[in-house]
Chain A
Amino acid sequence: DTTVKQNPRYKLARVGKPVNLICSQTMNHDTMYWYQKKPNQAPKLLLFYYDKILNREADTFEKFQSSRPNNSFCSLYIGSAGLEYSAMYLCASSRRTGANQAPLFGEGTRLSVL
């Protein structure tokens, strides 16, 4: 299976409530990324894991958390959702070495915060 899977596809959350998004891949990719995509904006990198090492972007450091319990799974956690978190959340994975490698994206989770 050469796809990245995300669950759920759609998520409705209330302001102030936590949100947990799941991503998985079985391609033995060493790196997994989370991006946020809003309409008419570029996908924005939130954080990524290289193996077990988490790298978070400076401007989203406190807003998002993540865990990677094993090579195949990665989660994105929002402790207290705000209206500004409404967006498409895209997970991607890749392998750092090898010709023609590229981050492959899942279908995304569309989060609506009300």
Chain B
Amino acid sequence: AQKVTQTQTSISVVEKTTVTMDCVYETRDSSYFLFWYKQTASGEIVFLIRQDSYKKENATVGHYSLNFQKPKSSIGLIITATQIEDSAVYFCAGGNYAQGLTFGLGTRVSVFP
């Protein structure tokens, strides 16, 4: 992707509820991949989930799922049954393997008991 935009700077939620994060991308490619990563308190960036542009079904892994709306160039992340340890910065990224990934600025999620 040439550009990835995450407009939500921070979100606070109560434990065990659902949080949704937005991400909009711009790309000239006909085939591309979209990813969500989580940055832990130590700074480590951990891969969460991936969506292939040619797939219509929304990807789901554990309590992470995606809301892929291709006509809107949107790839939202949904975390259900949040836990305290889900508190982190979440990055949306897009691109293809020939160009590397472009990241958004990130959304800080704080989960409170």
Q: Which residues of A contact B (CB under 8 A)?
A: 31, 33, 35, 37, 40-45, 48, 50, 55, 88, 90, 92, 94, 96, 100-105, 107-108, 110
Contact = CB atoms under 8 A, between A and B. Distances in A.
Interface in B14-73: 33, 35, 37, 42-47, 50
B74 interface: no
Given A42-B103, A94-B97, 9 more contacts: A31-B97, A33-B100, A40-B105, A42-B104, A43-B91, A55-B100, A96-B97, A105-B47, A107-B43
A102 B50 contact: yes
A57 to B, nearest CB: 8
Q: Specify the main secondary structure of chain B where it touches its partner.
A: strand
A12 to B, nearest CB: 17
B102 interface: yes
B93 to A, nearest CB: 8
Contacts of A43: 45, 91, 93, 103
B100 A105 contact: no
Contacts of A101: 50
Interface of B: 4, 33, 35, 37, 42-47, 50, 91, 93, 97-106
Contact of B102 (A45, A103, A110): A45
Contacts of B45: 43, 90, 92, 105, 108
Given A42-B105, A43-B91, A102 B35 contact: yes
Contacts of B99: 55
**Which interface residue of A40, A42, A108, A110 has the most chain B CB atoms within 10 A?**
A42
